[in-house]
Amino acid sequence: MSLRYVLAPGGASVIISDKAIATMIRFRQIGPSQKEEGGQLFGRFDGSRTIIVEATSPKWLDRRGRAMFRPNRWLQQREIRVRHVRGLHFIGDWHTHPEKIPQPSKEDLQNMAECFERSLHELHAFIMIIVGTELPPEGFHVSLVKKDAVLILEHEVGA
């Protein structure tokens, strides 16, 4: 059930593995009192394909509210170092929203753009996934975020 997202049909793609999907949908905000959850995205590159191999689970030191998620940056840096040794690259973040079809907030976009700008990397953009209450692909918002641009990816049907 891996999912493929693209900017244009036949172009570069982001593939989300079954394992990463399972982690993210496990934390959907289905109940009325559930708080936002989130984690990091790690992957590999295969030509024009970026493959999200792993989505990490939320951490106990993250700050959460019904419509707010702030990860513990120290624990995130530790995750990045551990996975880098295993050949996985940090490629972005994911978090939940309490809405069926999620849309990024202004704060979501600003935080991701700031993360992209201050991080040391050679990527063209970071991937941001927002997980809604609906199951994927409808319940996923997938975009590429860099300092001054946001590109929304579309689910490639039949992929």
pLDDT in tens, 110-142: 888 887 788 767 778 899 999 999 999 999 999
What is the predicted pLDDT for the residue at 67? 85
With respect to CATH, is domain 3-155 assigned 1.10.10.60? Answer: no
- By the 8 A CB rule, do 28 and 139 touch? yes
Which residues have CB under 8 Å from 1's CB, separation 6+? Answer: 18, 21
Which residues have CB under 8 Å from 19's CB, separation 6+? Answer: 53, 54, 55
Tokens 């409808």 locate to: 138
Which of 71-83 are b and which e, b meaning 16 or more Cβ less than 10 Å from the residue's Cβ? Answer: beeeebeebbeeb
Which of 14-26 are b and which e, b meaning 16 or more Cβ less than 10 Å from the residue's Cβ? Answer: bbbbeebbebbbe
pLDDT in tens, 24-52: 999 999 999 999 999 999 999 998 899 99
Sketch the domain layout of the chain as residue ranges. Answer: 3-155
For all residues of the chain together, what is the average pLDDT? 91
Reported pTM = 0.93
For residues 65 and 96, give the distance between their C-alpha atoms in angstroms, rounded to a whole number: 11
